[in-house]
């Protein structure tokens, strides 16, 4: 009980959505990790492509997960262009 008082209320993040589900964030992070490990030669462009495909195919009905995957894919594309 004392820890709750010291830490304050749980932060509320929306990322353009009504509410952020921590499970969706963790699922997206897990997928990002697997894609980065599977990308040939740690190629940023290949990883970005794989993430974009995964976000379209597997996470069509999970807007937060898809949003995270799209943002990571864009960041990887920017890195590949540098």
Question: For 16-47, what is each residue's pLDDT tens digit?
Answer: 556 667 777 777 788 788 877 777 676 777 77
28 vs 9, residue with greater confidence: 28
Which of 74, 61, 4, 78 minimizes the C-alpha distance to 27? 61
Span 66-77, pLDDT tens digits: 777 777 777 777
Cα torsion angle, 18, 28, 76, 13, sign:
positive
15 vs 5, residue with greater confidence: 15
Evaluate whether 41 touches 53 at the Cβ level (below 8 Å): no
């Amino acid at each position: 009980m004392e820890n709750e008082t010291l830490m304050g209320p749980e932060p509320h993040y929306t990322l353009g959505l009504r509410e952020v589900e921590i499970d969706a964030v963790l699922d997206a992070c897990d997928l990002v990790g697997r894609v980065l490990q599977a990308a040939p030669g740690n190629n940023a462009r290949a990883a970005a492509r794989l993430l974009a495909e995964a976000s379209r195919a597997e996470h069509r009905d999970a807007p937060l997960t898809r949003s995270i995957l799209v943002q990571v894919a864009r960041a990887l594309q920017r890195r590949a262009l540098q």
